[in-house]
A and B are shown apart, each in its own frame.
Chain A
Amino acid sequence: MAIKTFTSGSVLTASDTNTYLANSGLVYISEGSTSSSVIGLNFNNVFSSTYDNYRIVIDYFRPVTASRFVALQLRVGGVDTATNYYYAYRGIYTDGTSADLVGVAAAFVDIGVFNSSNTLSLSSATIDIFAPNKTEKTFFNINSSLFDSKFGARNGMAEHDTSTSFTGFSLYTNGGNMTTLRCKIYGYRQA
């Protein structure tokens, strides 16, 4: 919708308010979090034709077992897809050493979040996923933070290299349960 300009004395109507709410920049879709009793999160029916592009925000990660990273797999029909992921990050730790990371024809996307501690609560990652519900290859832009006895940051991309219409995704560690992983999903406003 076009931006409406309010002037002195203008009345903000219910219609205006609803229009702005419906057309906010990022539109909330769903969220989930783990307790230590679960090994991961399966999100079903979060990608659809309603939005083309999505943002996933992870703002808390602590594994039950130390030295775990977070893996993402796309889903369709309630089943994870465990092939054909590619990813590449440039990364740096606070001491200046490299935290670069790559994966080729992998079973998952390592989203770059790593925690060498099971007592430290580590955030975070933002993941933009482009057109996962279209029958096309799916691309990601990812920014993440990590902790491996010192903090670090990664910035990169990922791709699923098969033309598939996905409806959801899953988050796991590379072994064991998550004390807490908190995740929200938003859709990008279409127009």
Chain B
Amino acid sequence: MNPMIKVIDGETNVDTEREMTDEEYAELLSWQIPDEPTQP
């Protein structure tokens, strides 16, 4: 099961929780990094 995400619609201010799609979760994992970017 993929993680849950909360989605808020700014027009109605209704929020819903749903499971991330495979595509969304793969995209998230593609950029998540363990540490903050290197400081100058």
Contacts and interface: CB of A to CB of B under 8 A. Distances in A.
Interface of A: 29-32, 34, 37-46, 67, 69, 71, 80, 82, 98-103, 106-108, 110, 114, 168, 172, 174-175, 177, 185
Interface string B1-38: 00111111111010101001000100110111111110
B3 A45 contact: no
A37 B32 CA distance: 18
Given A82-B27, A107-B31, A42 B39 contact: no
Given A44-B10, A103-B37, A114-B36, A82 B5 contact: no
A33 to B, nearest CB: 8
B39 A44 contact: no
Interface residues of B, number: 26
A117 B33 CA distance: 17
Given A38-B5, A41-B8, A44-B8, 19 more contacts: A29-B10, A31-B8, A32-B6, A32-B15, A37-B4, A39-B28, A42-B6, A44-B7, A46-B8, A71-B31, A82-B27, A98-B39, A103-B37, A107-B31, A172-B28, A174-B33, A174-B35, A175-B33, A185-B10
- 4 closest cross-chain pairs (CB), A and B: A46-B10, A107-B31, A39-B3, A30-B10
